[in-house]
Chain A
Amino acid sequence: MNIRITKYYYGDIPEDKAGGNGSAHTVAAKPTDWPLWEVFIRSKQGLDHKHVGSLHAADAQMAIENARDVYTRRMEGVSIWVVESKYIHASNPEEADSLYEPANDKVYRHPTFYELPDELKHM
């Protein structure tokens, strides 16, 4: 797939027509760059924490405060979790079939599997 993209979008100015210093190299991240954290917020008492995004912070304390400032500007949270992104382990998308398919046929795990008399309430 070797098609060159030359379509322009808002906020997407191609380098070839844009002038500037095209040869400038990106500088590798330095050890003083703050690490990346993933932020989870519980928006209401009793709900699960939900991933809302990420941010940079020098330490966990700062990450929580940054999360408060960045992700709860509109009072969206009652509890914040942060975890350094490098500690997140993710499943491999190619294994999705073997991880999730088997659960699909275990219908007996779902409450609607059981036929009960209508008169029986609250179960």
Chain B
Amino acid sequence: MDNRNFSDYILHLADNVLILGQRNSEWCGHGPVLEQDIAITNISLDLIGQARSLYQYAAELVGNGATEDTLAYLRDARQFKNCLLVEQPNGDWAHTITRQFLFSVYQRLLYTKLLQHSDSRLAAIAEKSLKEVTYHVRWSSEWVIRLGDGTAESNERMCKAVETLWPYTGELFLPSSYEAALGKEGLAVNVSSLQADWEQQVREIFSEATLPYPPSGIWMQRGGKEGIHTEHLGYILAEMQFMQRAYPGLEW
């Protein structure tokens, strides 16, 4: 196997959960009610924990003295491989819930496949994460339903959130160059095979939430997995990496 492709793959998985965890953590102290402040922070903690496991593994694969922190804090936007969906701004609670829901459903399908991965380390990380992700799906699904079928205002906000975020969902199912290369050897999940299940699960929840399922043929944005991001990522990194950039090479 090509080591570079495999470490890129692990980095892609890690970047997804780190950036989403970072985004969710912005809510801490600002949630709509104390109980939900705690809930979104729990999800953020789960995601950052997953990111750490993945970066630690990636650091071993990359070598050259890499650590979880050099990978998270010293790569620039072009080297980040997260999909565009997770870097989108929190917006209102409807946007945050929708982003979480669309991603968690995808992540659960993906990690379920990863359980079978021939690399036992990756399979073990997937197994541990899957328990958390299953809860994220449940929690976010319920919120999608609650807000979709709540008040006229909440329904309208959800429709807007779905409309804004939908163009970033196509990329989830488009294999990147490293996924395609690894896929030939059965070393990466074929993400396009997850799409039908994802659509069905999202459709079911949207229907219960009385939210219209977006029509097909909407133009989909892409590029995040290859390091071509929206402008948001630069600011996320500027904030997140500030300490390591301003005071390089120190212990904290």
Q: Do chains A and B touch in the complex (CB under 8 A)?
A: yes
- Answer yes or no: A55 CB below 8 A from chain B CBs: yes
CB distance from B10 to the nearest CB of A (A): 28
User: A78 on the interface (CB 8 Å rule)?
Assistant: no
With A58-B146, A61-B142, A62-B142 as given contacts, are A73 and B33 in contact (CB-CB < 8 Å)?
no
CB contacts under 8 Å to B, within A67-83, are 69-70, 73
**Is A42 positioned at the interface, with any CB of B under 8 Å from its CB?**
no
Which residues of B have CB within 8 Å of A34?
33
B132-148 residues with Cβ-Cβ distance < 8 A to A are 138-139, 142, 146
Q: How many chain B residues have a CB neighbour from A under 8 Å?
A: 11
Contact B142 A55 (CB under 8 A): no
Please tell me if A65 contacts chain B, counting CB pairs below 8 Å: yes
Chain B residues closer than 8 Å to A73, beta-carbon distance: 38, 42
Chain A residues, Cβ within 8 Å of B142: 61-62, 65
Task: Specify which chain A residues have a CB less than 8 angstroms from the CB of B33 in the assembled complex.
Answer: 34, 56
Interface check B61, CB cutoff 8 A: no
For the residues of B in contact with A, the DSSP-based class is helix
A66 at the interface (CB under 8 A from B): yes
A35 vs B98: C-alpha distance when bound (angstroms): 25
How many A residues touch B, CB cutoff 8 Å? Answer: 12
Write out the residue numbers on chain B whose beta carbons fall within 8 Å of the beta carbon of A56.
Answer: 33-35
> Is the beta-carbon distance between B35 and A57 smaller than 8 angstroms?
yes
CA distance A69 to B40 in the complex (A): 9
- Is B165 on the interface with A (CB-CB < 8 A)? no
Hey, which chain A residues are within 8 Å of B35, CB to CB? 55-57, 62, 66, 69-70
B39 proximal to A (CB < 8 A): yes
Distance of A39 from chain B, by nearest CB (Å): 11
Known: A34-B33, A56-B33, A58-B146. A70 touches B139 (CB 8 A): no
Can you name the residue of chain B whose Cβ is closest to the Cβ of A66? B35
Identity of the chain B residue whose Cβ is nearest the Cβ of A70 in the assembled complex: B38
Name the residue among A61, A62, A73 with the largest chain B CB count within 10 angstroms: A62
Picked from B38, B138, B146, the residue with its CB within 8 Å of the CB of A69 is B38
Residues of chain B in range 1-56 having any CB-CB distance to chain A below 8 Å? 33-36, 38-39, 42
Contact across chains for B146 and A65 when beta carbons are under 8 A apart: no
- CB-CB nearest in chain B for A34: B33
Most chain A C-beta atoms within 10 Å of own C-beta, residue among B33, B139, B146: B33
Across the interface, do B42 and A66 meet the contact criterion of CB distance under 8 Å?
no
Q: Which residues of A contact B138 (CB under 8 A)?
A: 65
Cα–Cα, bound, A57→B38 (Å): 13
27 A-B pairs, CB-CB below 8 angstroms?
A34-B33, A55-B35, A56-B33, A56-B34, A56-B35, A57-B35, A58-B146, A61-B142, A62-B35, A62-B142, A62-B146, A65-B39, A65-B138, A65-B139, A65-B142, A66-B35, A66-B36, A66-B38, A66-B39, A69-B35, A69-B38, A69-B39, A69-B42, A70-B35, A70-B38, A73-B38, A73-B42
Given A55-B35, A56-B33, A62-B146, output 16 extra A-B contacts at Cβ < 8 Å. A34-B33, A56-B35, A58-B146, A61-B142, A62-B35, A62-B142, A65-B39, A65-B138, A66-B35, A66-B36, A66-B38, A69-B35, A69-B38, A69-B39, A70-B38, A73-B38
